[in-house]
Amino acid sequence: MQDQAKNRPHNHLIIGTRGSNLALAQALEVRDLLIGHHPHLNINNIEIRVMSTRGDRVQDRNLSEIGGKGLFTEEIEEALYKGDIDIAVHSLKDMPTKLPDGLELACYLEREDVRDAFLSDKAQCLSDLPKGAILGTSSLRRKAQALALRPDLKIVNFRGNVQTRLKKLDDGVADATFLAMAGLNRLAIEDQRINPVNVKDILPAVAQGAITIEIASENEKLKELLYPLNHSETELRVRAERSMLDILDGSCRTPIAGLAAIDGNILTLKGRVLDEDGHNDFSYTLSGNKNDPEAIGRELGQRLKCASS
């Protein structure tokens, strides 16, 4: 493991990423932050290597049918093992809660807008859609929460990157869809159809809006290099959320939502579990010391697990 990385010049760094416009924007953000914090690095000695994942290649089925979150990470993590890349940049909401042995999440960038965005030519919010309208989404979380509010809606599969889904909306495949505000902001997309959704109505995915950097656990030099990029509040919040998700055995097969907030030394976590049609809907909120986020997440996860089982 990491043999190729050891043979590279000390100031040459390879960033592995998926190939969508959003993934590339996130990788470039990491590159620019590294350059800003470390004078010995520049655009000539940081390489961005685009990698294809099974989750990107299979677009005609829901993730729940083909394997879940790991579909966006397996090929990239294999490259980390081999030393073909030094760091992997991920959207944290796409990461399984259990990582392969020898790999770890070493850094969390400051979180973007956590909200979902509602997009439609026919309405500015979900409640204003005509009866029986078609909602396009591949997210079970969004589907379940939308049906909990509007059980009359028809749901169609809406896979693809941001641009693909916007084109599907333009082509009339659906009357409305949801996208993450974080992705729209990072791509600087301005569209008059974009309407941020209050988290009280649609609770975000766990870790939505957060970028993480994965590395080989043995690479202490990289940990030091990445330390200045880490945003401590974001880290505490997503650790609580992912701990809850881990207890719930969360994957793309279960509608689960969660969001943590910090006020002073208090971290408050809200979690929500639904069935796919939104009929059964369970939510809890729990607060505790921000310095023990996993304990809060585990306890809330257990409460939701008991309620929904």
**Whole-model pTM above 0.75?**
yes
Q: Is the pLDDT confidence value at 148 over 70?
A: yes
Structure-token pair, residue 88: 């992997």
pLDDT (mean) for 13-20: 94
Structure confidence by residue, pLDDT tens digits, 220-268: 999 999 999 999 999 999 999 999 999 997 555 789 999 999 999 999 9
Evaluate whether 108 touches 207 at the Cβ level (below 8 Å): no
Q: Tell me which of 94, 170, 263, 292 is the catalytic residue.
A: 94
Provide the sign of the torsion angle of the four alpha carbons 264, 266, 272, 273, taken in this order.
positive
Tell how far CA 261 is from the center of its chain. Answer: 17
* Structural domains of the chain, ranges and CATH numbers in brackets: 3-109+210-230 (3.40.190.10), 116-196 (3.40.190.10), 241-308 (3.30.160.40)
Partners of residue 91 on adjacent β-strands: 211
**Alpha carbon 7 to its chain's center:** 33
Is the pLDDT at 130 greater than 90? The verdict is yes
Question: Which tokens belong to 206?
Answer: 């766990």
Q: Is the pLDDT of residue 100 over 80?
A: yes
Residue 139, Cβ density class (10 Å: 0-12 exposed, 13-18 middle, ≥19 buried): buried
* Cβ atoms of residues 173 and 73 within 8 Å: no
**197-206: average pLDDT:** 97
Residue at 181: amino acid letter: M
Contact 81, 216 (CB under 8 A): yes
Q: Active-site residue 94, yes or no? A: yes
The structure tokens listed for 79 are: 């490259």
Q: Name the one residue in this structure whose structure tokens are 């055995």.
A: 249
* CA 31 to chain CA mean position, Å: 19
Neighbours of 295 (CB within 10 A): 15
Give one DSSP letter per residue of 178-230, joined into a string: EEEHHHHHHTT---TTEEEPPTTTSPPPTTTT-EEEEEETT-HHHHHHHGGG-
Q: What is the pLDDT of residues 169-190, one digit of tens each?
A: 999 999 999 999 999 999 999 9
